């Protein structure tokens, strides 16, 4: 990954994959502020047809893609009724097709989970400016994904607030990172249960787990924040994005979510990126890099800040609250491809919790059982990765069945 400057074309043609999720919505809000700099070429969504119709009316994309044929047919009917010229497609192949389309300059990859991997690979191989909000694609794809980025000469820019903060805190010359970085410090809010008694975690409901104190996110990501599995995935992502040893990555709880992450250098100076907890900031930076533009986020009011506090993940009972976090280092120490096992297990576990099949405190058990049960070979193709993903999901589903309420 390099920061060498390559200024964007005057008008970027953008495909927003996952346009009806929180990242997609924020991306379109940023784009709407800068009609002279961006045009929307394609949108994709999973099931939210009504919102997709509104987005098609507002942005007039050339393509709109739904995940399934039934939702695609519904969208096509509504677009025709409104006289829209947008061409409606559906299915994974169609999403990958628009991500790789020659008319697209920039792809916002915001499809949640492993479902976004194929389209991310398509964008990478086609040499796009790839704004990576789907951390699971890199967690699952690892070195194979980075190889596709390199071979396609794509520009990979992180959109997660933590990784964007690290990227903004690093020198432009990526060749010096390994010599200069002492450690990367990823900050975490601690989620809704930072001060909750771990003995009560068995009674946590999906509604409680999805009520994040500072960030507005989708349900899956909100649960990951509550278990701190999101931070485990971010540790893996940081390892691949910035080429640092896993031992050089630290997680620090910062409840105010003002410092989004930090880089400590060999001389022990620390550079941090601060901002309001609003995803429009890293989205605008990714769209405009290496320039900066108005994001629409509120400015920090330093006079209103009572304090900035920090807590070790090893203290205050956090080890019991967040047992999922150390799984990141365990997976990175194992055979490449094991991170894909962890990602698949967690997706199954979170879905089972949200549907009432397991308790909140059993998400960790599903993840650990799956990691222990699945042995992988080094993946060398998308087929290998999908096979690992399928095997891990099967093992995790059986673990859910054993633990099920």
DSSP one-letter string for 93-109: HHHHHHHH-TT-SEEEE
Contacts of 357 (CB under 8 A, 6+ apart): 400, 404, 405
pTM for the model stands at 0.92
User: N- to C-terminal Cα distance for the chain?
Assistant: 45
Kindly state the DSSP code that residue 303 receives in the 8-state scheme.
G
- Residue 48, SS3? coil
Pairing of strands 87-90, 259-265: unpaired
Residue extents of the structural domains in the chain: 12-159, 166-403
Sign of the CA dihedral with 284 first, then 22, 348, and 387 last: negative
Pairing of strands 259-265, 270-274: antiparallel
**How would CATH label the architecture of 12-159?**
3-Layer(aba) Sandwich (3.40)
**How many angstroms separate the CA atoms of 405 and 396, rounded?**
15
Of 1, 18, 6, give the one whose Cα is nearest residue 283. 18
Q: Same fold for the domain at 12-159 and the one at 166-403?
A: no
Of 96, 93, 88, give the one whose Cα is nearest residue 70. 88
Strand partners of residue 38? 12
**How many angstroms separate the CA atoms of 24 and 309, rounded?**
31
- E-strand stretches of 80-172: 87-90, 106-109, 129-132, 155-158
Number of C-beta neighbours around residue 80 at 10 A: 11
Kindly state the DSSP code that residue 288 receives in the 8-state scheme.
H
Q: What is the pLDDT along the chain (405 residues), one digit of tens a residue?
A: 666 555 455 799 999 999 999 999 999 999 999 999 999 999 999 999 999 999 999 999 999 999 999 999 999 999 999 999 999 999 999 999 999 999 999 999 999 888 899 999 999 999 999 999 988 889 999 999 999 999 999 999 999 999 999 999 999 999 999 999 999 999 999 999 999 999 999 999 999 999 877 776 788 989 999 999 999 999 999 999 999 999 999 999 999 999 999 999 999 999 999 999 999 999 999 999 999 999 999 999 999 888 999 999 999 889 999 999 999 999 999 999 999 999 999 999 999 999 999 999 999 999 999 999 999 999 999 999 999 999 999 999 999 999 976
Radius of gyration of the chain (CA): 20
Residue tagged 């784009």 (tokens): 31
CATH of domain 166-403: 1.10.1740.10
**How many angstroms separate the CA atoms of 147 and 278, rounded?**
31
């Amino acid at each position: 990954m390099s920061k060498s400057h390559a200024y964007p074309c005057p008008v970027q043609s953008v495909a927003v994959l996952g346009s009806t999720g929180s990242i997609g919505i924020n991306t379109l809000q940023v784009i709407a502020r800068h009609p002279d700099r961006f045009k929307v070429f394609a949108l994709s969504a999973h099931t939210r047809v009504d919102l997709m119709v509104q987005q098609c009316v507002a942005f007039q994309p050339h393509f709109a893609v739904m995940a399934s044929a039934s939702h695609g047919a519904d969208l096509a009917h509504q677009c025709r009724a409104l006289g829209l010229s947008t061409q409606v497609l559906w299915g994974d192949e169609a999403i990958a097709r628009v991500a790789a389309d020659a008319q697209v300059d920039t792809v916002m990859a915001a499809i949640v989970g492993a479902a976004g991997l194929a389209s991310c690979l398509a964008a990478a191989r086609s040499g796009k400016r790839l704004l990576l909000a789907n951390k699971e694609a890199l967690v699952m794809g690892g070195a194979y994904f980075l190889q596709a980025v390199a071979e396609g000469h794509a520009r990979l820019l992180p959109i997660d607030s933590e990784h964007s903060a690290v990227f903004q805190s690093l020198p432009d010359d990526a060749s010096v990172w390994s010599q200069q970085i002492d450690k990367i410090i990823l900050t975490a809010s601690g989620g809704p249960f930072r001060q909750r008694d771990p003995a009560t975690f068995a009674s946590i409901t999906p509604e409680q787990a999805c009520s994040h104190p500072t960030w507005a996110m989708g349900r899956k990501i909100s649960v990951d924040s509550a278990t701190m599995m999101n931070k485990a995935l971010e540790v893996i992502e940081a390892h691949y994005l910035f080429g640092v040893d896993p031992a050089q990555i630290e997680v620090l709880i910062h409840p105010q979510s003002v410092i989004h992450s930090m880089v400590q250098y060999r001389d022990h100076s620390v550079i941090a990126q601060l901002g309001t907890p609003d995803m429009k900031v890293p989205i605008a930076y990714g769209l405009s890099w290496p320039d900066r533009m108005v994001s629409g986020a509120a400015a920090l009011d330093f006079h209103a800040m009572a304090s900035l506090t920090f807590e070790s993940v090893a203290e205050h009972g956090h080890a019991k609250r967040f047992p999922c976090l150390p799984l990141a280092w365990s997976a990175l120490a194992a055979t490449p491809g094991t991170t894909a096992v962890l990602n698949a297990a967690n997706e199954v576990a979170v879905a089972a919790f949200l549907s009432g099949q397991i308790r909140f405190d059993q998400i960790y058990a599903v993840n650990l059982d799956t990691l222990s049960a699945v042995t992988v070979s080094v993946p060398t193709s998308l087929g290998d990765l999908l096979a690992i993903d399928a095997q891990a999901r099967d093992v995790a589903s059986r673990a859910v069945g054993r633990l099920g309420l």
